[in-house]
Amino acid sequence: MPRTSRRPTVTLPTPSRLQRWGLGLGAAAFLAPLLLDVPGLDPAGERMLAIFLLAIVLWVTEAIPLTATAVLVILLQVLMLSEQALVGLETEVLSASDTFAALADPVIMLFLGGFLIAEGASTFKLDRNLAAVLLRPFAGNARRSVLGLMLITAVLSMFVSNTATTATMFAVIVPVLAALPPGRARTGLALSIPVAANVGGIGTPVGSPPNAIALGALSAQGHSVSFVGWMLLAVPLMLVLLVLAWVLLTRRYVPSDTPFDLDTTAEFDRSPAARLFMVIAGGTVLLWLTEPFHGIPSSTVGFLPVVLLLATQVMSGEDLKRLQWPVLWLVAGGISLGTGIGASGLDDWLIGLVGWDRLPSTILLLLLTTIGVALSSVISNSATANLLIPLALSLSVAVNLDPTMLGVLVALACSLAMVLPISTPPNAIAYATGEVPTQAMATTGIVIGVVGVVLLSLVMPWLWTTLGLL
């Protein structure tokens, strides 16, 4: 008899108490605007409010996976606000095709290219070897070596996911950690990697999902930010926070006489496939950095390596399967949510609930960035950005502030939350090594978060305006 393959049994996870509460609260939050008459909102606004409240509850409680909530938002907008609405509206708010288009938004194409380049860099061990070569000038002194590790981690995180970068850099320093005597030096070294990865992710549009969410929301409102334009806004802040973090970590944890022997040997893959990958990846980064000269949008440039790497068979469909598709769909859900809030008029209603125009602009910026950092410390920074950025862009009109400034500020704030092991994947990786106590992570994260909020609220808007970047 022919052998038949049996599909492995899939075991459904048992929801936690918080998740069960989240499902119940989410259902109540969704139904309330539909069953009650909300003053000041028309039927379309009430339906969008129901979707928005449901998204908030599900993202905060993680009653279902974050990606599931994102695609649920898209589906509900089609079924409640488009020409395919189960119960019709007098006026169509968004067409179904426009809503589904969020899954192929130009920002998604930009991130898709970045993810494929990151996957290729890992496949050909380009990231590990580059890190080893770049570390050579910093060898010989413990504190200087930590600075080199942090700078290289931050640079890699600008173009590769900070999770992959953290894993790569820990592979570099594991022998060093093992050689160090137990104590504060181990803590400082292990903590330097996730801090640098988190901070480095703010530097480019492909460095962190909140950046992509901000770009998508800004683009939907007709405000474009180029790849280089984002870097001009974010890299100065990134460098200041990196130096601050290095001083804090080395002075507190790493004595200057700590024995420190980094392995800086590198063996680059010289196969034809690896060489071709390096040419394509390097060309993509070069095109991103020269966008003001050639005028090709960064999203189109991001799609070029996808086509070239697949067409030349340097990478295959198997490589595509390993990409971070949940992150892409989470970003798409945020883009769709922002579009729905604006098209339904819900943004005006939400802004009208508070007298924002009576607040000084400095207080308003402090409030927005503080909420971004605080909320991202306990839930996903992508989920936080999905909730806050559409509101910030709508708020910019009411208080007469530059929407690009507000969108970028909130996105950067969401990426500066690194207080707890659950705050970011790099934090979780570092905590899993057993070398980083929660108290040490929290203290460092709070200092960086507070300084980041102050710089974002008081310094960066003035700097951007003075330099004519906005």
242 CB-near residues (< 8 Å, 6+ apart) = 150, 151, 154, 196, 199, 200
The predicted-structure confidence for 137-175, as pLDDT tens digits, reads as follows 877 778 888 898 899 999 989 988 787 788 888 877 877
pLDDT greater than 60 at residue 5 = no
pLDDT greater than 80 at residue 224 = yes
Single-letter amino acid code for the residue at 2: P
pLDDT attached to residue 314: 94
| Angle formed by the axes of helices 209-220 and 381-399, nearest 10° | 30
pLDDT attached to residue 85: 85
Say if CB 350 and CB 387 are below 8 A apart: no
CB atoms within 10 A of CB 465: 12
Q: What is the mean pLDDT of residues 106-112?
A: 88
pLDDT greater than 90 at residue 248 = yes
Structural tokens at position 317: 């469909």
CA 271 to chain centre: 33
Longest dimension (CA), the chain: 79
Say if CB 236 and CB 358 are below 8 A apart: no
C-alpha span between 15 and 20 (Å, rounded) = 6
| Angle formed by the axes of helices 106-123 and 272-289, nearest 10° | 140
C-alpha span between 266 and 361 (Å, rounded) = 51
Q: How many CA atoms lie within 13 A of 434 on its CB side?
A: 4
* E strand spans, 348-454: none
The predicted-structure confidence for 326-359, as pLDDT tens digits, reads as follows 888 888 888 888 888 888 888 888 877 777 778 8
The predicted-structure confidence for 190-202, as pLDDT tens digits, reads as follows 899 999 999 999 9
DSSP state of 257: T
Single-letter amino acid code for the residue at 54: L
C-alpha span between 403 and 397 (Å, rounded) = 7
DSSP state of 377: H
C-alpha span between 64 and 197 (Å, rounded) = 27
Give the confidence band of 7 by pLDDT, cuts at 50, 70, 90: low
208 CB-near residues (< 8 Å, 6+ apart) = 162, 201, 202, 381, 411, 415
The predicted-structure confidence for 42-75, as pLDDT tens digits, reads as follows 999 999 999 999 998 998 888 998 889 989 999 9
Say if CB 219 and CB 226 are below 8 A apart: no
pLDDT greater than 80 at residue 183 = no
- The b/e string for 137-158 (b: 16+ C-beta within 10 A; e otherwise) is ebeeebbbbbbbbbbbbbbbbb
Find tokens 């393959």 and name the residue. Answer: 5
Find tokens 């279902």 and name the residue. Answer: 64
Percent share of the chain, pLDDT over 70 = 98
Is the pLDDT higher at 324 or at 288?
Answer: 288
Measured over the CA atoms of residue 152, residue 156, residue 161 and residue 164, the dihedral's sign is negative
The DSSP element (H or E) to which 3 belongs, if any, is none
Select from 164, 259, 187 the least CA-distant residue to 438: 187
C-alpha span between 290 and 306 (Å, rounded) = 19
pLDDT attached to residue 165: 85
The DSSP element (H or E) to which 149 belongs, if any, is helix 142-159
pLDDT attached to residue 1: 47
Say if CB 142 and CB 254 are below 8 A apart: yes
pLDDT attached to residue 8: 65
Looking at every residue in the chain, the average pLDDT score rounds to: 87
pTM score? 0.84
The predicted-structure confidence for 256-277, as pLDDT tens digits, reads as follows 777 777 667 778 899 999 999 9
CA distances from 115 to 8, 108, 121, 290, 326 (A): 29, 10, 10, 20, 12
pLDDT attached to residue 288: 92
CA distances from 429 to 255, 277, 439 (A): 24, 28, 16
Say if CB 165 and CB 128 are below 8 A apart: no
177 CB-near residues (< 8 Å, 6+ apart) = 186, 189, 190, 433, 435
Say if CB 219 and CB 107 are below 8 A apart: yes
Q: What is the mean pLDDT of residues 89-106?
A: 86
Say if CB 170 and CB 193 are below 8 A apart: yes
Is the pLDDT higher at 374 or at 5?
Answer: 374
DSSP reduced 3-state for 225: coil
